[in-house]
């Protein structure tokens, strides 16, 4: 199919039905920009309107949506992000994931703002997008290949390295519930099984050829000044040099010192080998530093090893979360093995956070005697056994043995195993917890419980909790105790702010690492200036906050429509086995989590069951109320 490129800086919507093999273009609705921005916001609006209750995530009726943020592909720094949504096969609720790299910018350069994928191909296919040429092509020769091999084969086939490729691996093809989507070797949309949705549609990859002609963007005369200010804020932040040098991998010891390092399936919050697996030890292995185009941080790195399984092979440095998921969470103290296992997950196309969480869960059951060698087919699941971890990862991707059970995620695996296993399954809404241990960081604990996609720090990026000073917390949230990690005071408003700002950044296409880890202002002032300068859009800070709140509430309505309830906004029982010290106030579990959750509902404008009130929805302009949600009883 060929068509003329869109003249609007917003590009067009490309709607593809793989079952019917049809492609359709439509203009991006300009009127949605102020209400839902782009990226995550416009995706959520679309899937809410088009995926009805009762849809099976593996059904052709599930819809995969990929959207560029408003700033993706522009001159704005760190604006490479692409957001991906569908109904999640892992949780049955909102599927939501995000990745950087060059694909989003190239999709935008092809004049496509949003890509909608419906139906299921009769045989494996990939999408070819070359400017104004879009084709559905046979993927027989690449089906079954690992992610890195898929990209290499396609580049060799077309004799060009100037291709940007999104691809899945055997995990997504074979129905591992946490299959991921990869571009390049470093950039992964890992959480909630979006790669599995691609696999269920027989869609192996999406390929764009690099475009010489870029889409023009409006800019005011002071645009360069706003860009320079944003870069200055990033480069002059206290942690800029550390993140640039070591990436997120260099913060393992920091998390251990803070007492929030998930260890041995959350049995502890400190790991005796934290020093050994800290990413700063990988400095000697770095051969090349990389990152997303236009980002001043360049937080990725390619590695080379002189010994071990990676000897003679190229590798990539893991991010912070995989370091914990495959390291301390599993009791693994060998850094080379940790890197190998993370790269194995990436090549096979599975989320390393969920994979590590599932392995840690199995090791915990083995240590407690709930699983035996008979259950594991002889695999020794003693803590830190890297060889056994590798076996389970391969099994997860091909549906074999115990790994085939773990491939369904810890919630379903625990139900299948029985014998009390459910008590030790660390998930919320079916999504495995990320790396911070919720025992000693109350805002993150609340964020895990109420996040729309399940327990994930990146969804509610609450760095204010440990980066802001007490006087800043007092001024913003009315209590200096917000800066006390173990205090429950003020955490509801902190989580609300983090949630709204997170969806705005995902809708703009900006990376959260520089915005929330380095700049860390949480006021959207710099982002508003940047957007106005680059796009010429008259959107103010209040517009951004309103849009963010609207998106958050629509995500909530999507989950309620698909069966979620307030009962799902809760940490697992394994975190309620002892009394906690919430700040200065000793408390039992129901005395620290439930008050935070109740207060969170209040500050969100939701009722006691966690349903957005009619007044809240009317205020946000979400109509008609009677058709918006059918809340679970």
Of the pLDDT bands very low, low, confident and very high (cuts 50, 70, 90), residue 622 is very high
Contact 318, 339 (CB under 8 A): yes
The candidate with the shortest Cα–Cα distance to 503, out of 32, 39, 35, is: 39
Give residue limits of the domains in the chain.
12-209, 257-425, 441-628
The enclosing H or E element of 549 equals: helix 541-561
pLDDT tens string 579-595: 655 555 546 656 788 99
- Omega before residue 491 within 30° of 0, cis: no
Spatial contact of 218 and 9, defined as CB atoms under 8 Å apart? yes
Question: Looking at the domain covering 257-425, what would its CATH class be?
Answer: mainly alpha
Architecture of domain 441-628 in this structure: Orthogonal Bundle (1.10)
How many other C-beta atoms can be found within 10 angstroms of the C-beta atom of residue 440? Answer: 18
- CA dist 174 and 196 (Å) reads 8
Q: What is the pLDDT of residue 589?
A: 59
**Alpha-carbon distance values, 452 to 40, 103, 134, 456, 578 (Å):** 12, 25, 34, 9, 27
Give the Cβ contact number of residue 409 at 10 Å.
27
Of all residues in the chain, what percent carry a pLDDT higher than 70?
A: 93
Residue 220 — very low, low, confident or very high, per pLDDT cuts 50/70/90? Answer: low
What is the phi/psi pair of residue 296, to 5°? Answer: -75, -5
Length of the chain: 633
CA distance readout (Å), 181 to 166, 193, 346, 410, 573: 6, 9, 9, 21, 31
Measured from the Cβ of residue 130, the count of other Cβ atoms closer than 10 Å reads 16
Q: Which residues contact 132 (CB under 8 A, 6 or more apart)?
A: 2, 3, 4, 5, 110, 111
Strand ranges (DSSP E) for 235-295?
A: 286-290
Strand runs labelled E in 211-308: 286-290, 300-303
Q: What is the DSSP string of 29-95?
A: -TTHHHHH-SHHHHHHHHHHHHS-TT--TTSTTS-EEEEE-TTTTSSSTT---EEEEEE-TTTSSEE
What is the per-residue pLDDT across 545-560, written as a single tens digit (0 to 9) for each? 999 999 999 999 999 9
| Cα(561)–Cα(566) distance, integer angstroms | 13
> Where do the H-state alpha helices sit in 288-351?
320-325, 335-348
Give yes or no for a contact between 351 and 191, defined as CB atoms under 8 angstroms apart.
yes
CA proximity to 89, closest of 131, 59, 125, 50: 59
Distance CA 102, CA 319 (A): 18
Cα gap 361→384, rounded to integer Å: 13
Mean pLDDT of 484-496: 91
- Take residue 87 and report the two structure tokens written for it: 């109904």
Q: Count other C-beta atoms under 10 Å from residue 251's C-beta.
A: 24
Which top CATH class is 12-209? alpha beta
Contact 113, 93 (CB under 8 A): no
User: CA neighbours within 13 Å on the CB side: how many for 559?
Assistant: 26
* Strand, coil or helix: 99: strand
> Which residues are within 8 A (CB) of 230 and not within 5 positions of it... i.e. 6 or more apart?
76, 77, 526, 529, 530
Give the Cα separation of 476 and 278 in Å (integer): 34
Supply the pLDDT for residue 375.
Answer: 97
- β partners of residue 167: 182, 205
Angle value at C-alpha 172, between 169 and 177, nearest 5 degrees: 140
Containing 135, the helix (H) or strand (E) segment is strand 133-138
- Which pLDDT does position 527 carry in this prediction? 96
- Which residue blocks in 283-334 are alpha helix, DSSP H? 320-325
Closest by CA to 317, choosing from 358, 288, 359, is 288
pLDDT-derived band at 204 (thresholds 50, 70, 90) equals: very high
pLDDT in tens, 411-454: 999 999 999 999 999 999 999 999 999 989 999 999 999 999 99
Q: What is the mean pLDDT of residues 185-208?
A: 97
What DSSP string runs through 211-232? PSSPPP----TTHHHHHHHHHH
Query: Residue 133's beta-bridge partner residues?
Result: 2, 130
**What integer pLDDT is reported at residue 451 of this predicted model?**
97
Q: In this predicted model, which residue has the larger pLDDT, 619 or 224?
A: 619
Q: Helices marked H in 400-535 — which ranges?
A: 401-406, 409-417, 442-450, 464-467, 470-477, 491-508, 512, 525-535
Alpha carbon distance 329, 357 (integer Å):
7
Task: Please tell me the distance from the alpha carbon of residue 291 to that of residue 245, in angstroms, as a whole number.
Answer: 12
Q: Report the 10 Å Cβ neighbour count for 248.
A: 20
Determine the pLDDT at residue 587: 61
The sheet with strand 300-303 has its strands ordered as 286-290, 300-303, 315-316
pLDDT over 70 at 4, yes or no: no
Q: For residue 310, which of 342, 280, 266, 333 has the smallest C-alpha distance?
A: 342
Question: Could you tell me if residue 299 is left (phi over 0), alpha (psi between -120 and 50 degrees) or otherwise beta?
Answer: alpha
What confidence tier does 205 reach under pLDDT thresholds 50, 70, 90?
very high
What confidence tens digit (pLDDT) does each residue in 232-270 have?
A: 999 999 999 999 999 999 999 999 999 999 999 999 999
Chain segment 135-151, per-residue pLDDT in tens: 999 999 999 999 999 99
Tell me the average pLDDT across 127-135: 91
The residue assigned the tokens 């370091």 is 323
Mean pLDDT of 309-328: 96
Angle at 216 (CA atoms; ends 160, 522), nearest 5 degrees: 100
Q: Are 479 and 473 in contact (CB under 8 A)?
A: yes
Pairing of the two strands 125-130 and 133-138? antiparallel
pLDDT at 108: 93
Q: Count of CB atoms within 10 A of residue 394's CB?
A: 15
Report the DSSP pairing between strands 580-582 and 585-587.
antiparallel
> Is 182 in contact with 213 (CB distance < 8 Å)?
no
């Amino acid at each position: 199919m060929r068509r003329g490129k869109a003249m609007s800086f917003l590009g067009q919507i490309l709607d593809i039905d793989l079952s019917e093999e049809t492609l359709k273009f439509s203009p991006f609705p300009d009127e949605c920009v102020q209400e839902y921005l782009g990226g995550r916001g416009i995706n959520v609006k679309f899937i809410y309107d088009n995926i009805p209750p009762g849809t099976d995530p593996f059904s052709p009726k599930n819809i995969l949506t990929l959207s560029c943020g408003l700033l993706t592909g522009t001159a704005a720094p760190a604006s490479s992000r692409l957001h991906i949504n569908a109904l999640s096969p892992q949780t049955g609720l909102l599927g939501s994931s995000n990745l950087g790299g060059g694909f989003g910018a190239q999709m935008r350069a092809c004049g496509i703002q949003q890509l909608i994928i419906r139906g299921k191909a009769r045989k494996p296919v990939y999408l070819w997008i070359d400017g104004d040429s879009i084709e559905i092509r046979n993927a027989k020769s690449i089906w079954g290949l690992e992610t890195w091999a898929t990209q290499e084969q396609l580049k060799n086939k077309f004799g060009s390295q100037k291709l940007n490729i999104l691809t899945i691996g055997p995990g997504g093809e074979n129905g591992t519930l946490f299959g991921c989507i990869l571009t390049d070797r470093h950039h992964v949309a890992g959480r909630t099984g979006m790669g599995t949705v691609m696999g269920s549609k027989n869609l192996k990859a999406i390929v764009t050829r690099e475009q010489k002609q870029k889409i023009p963007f409006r800019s005011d005369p002071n645009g360069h000044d706003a860009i320079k200010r944003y870069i200055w804020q990033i480069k002059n932040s206290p942690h800029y040099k550390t993140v640039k040098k070591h990436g997120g991998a260099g913060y393992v010891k920091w998390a251990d010192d803070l007492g929030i390092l998930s260890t041995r399936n959350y049995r502890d919050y400190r790991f005796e080998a934290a020093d050994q697996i800290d990413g700063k030890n990988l400095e000697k292995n770095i051969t090349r530093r990389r990152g997303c185009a236009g980002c001043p941080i360049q937080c990725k790195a390619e590695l080379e090893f002189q010994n071990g399984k990676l000897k003679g092979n190229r590798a990539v440095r893991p991010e912070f979360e995989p370091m914990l998921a495959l390291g301390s969470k599993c009791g693994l103290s060998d850094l080379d093995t940790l890197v190998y296992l993370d790269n194995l997950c990436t090549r096979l196309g599975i989320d390393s956070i969920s994979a590590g969480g599932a392995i840690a869960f199995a090791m915990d059951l083995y240590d407690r005697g709930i699983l035996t060698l008979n259950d594991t087919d002889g695999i020794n699941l003693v803590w830190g056994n890297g060889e056994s971890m590798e076996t389970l990862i391969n099994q997860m991707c091909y549906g074999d043995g115990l790994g085939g059970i773990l491939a369904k995620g810890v919630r379903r695996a625990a139900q299948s195993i029985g014998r009390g296993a459910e008590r030790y399954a660390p998930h919320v809404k079916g999504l495995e917890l990320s790396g911070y241990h919720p025992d000693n960081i109350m805002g993150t604990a609340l964020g895990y419980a109420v996040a729309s996609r399940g327990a994930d720090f990146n969804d509610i990026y609450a760095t204010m909790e440990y980066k802001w000073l007490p006087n800043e917390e007092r001024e913003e949230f009315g209590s200096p105790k917000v800066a006390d990690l173990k205090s429950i005071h003020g955490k509801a408003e902190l989580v609300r702010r983090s949630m709204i700002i997170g969806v705005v950044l995902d809708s703009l296409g900006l990376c959260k690492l520089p915005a929330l880890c380095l700049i860390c202002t949480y006021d959207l002032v710099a982002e508003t200036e940047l957007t106005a300068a680059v796009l010429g859009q008259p959107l103010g800070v209040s517009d951004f906050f309103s849009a963010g709140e609207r998106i958050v509430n629509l995500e909530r309505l999507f989950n309620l429509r698909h069966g979620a309830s307030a009962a799902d906004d809760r940490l697992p029982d394994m975190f309620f086995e002892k009394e906690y010290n919430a700040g200065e106030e000793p408390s039992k579990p129901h005395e620290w989590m439930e008050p935070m959750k109740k207060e969170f509902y209040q500050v969100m404008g939701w009722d006691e069951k966690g349903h957005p009130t009619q007044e809240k929805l009317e205020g946000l302009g979400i109509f008609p109320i009677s058709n918006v949600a059918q809340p679970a009883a």
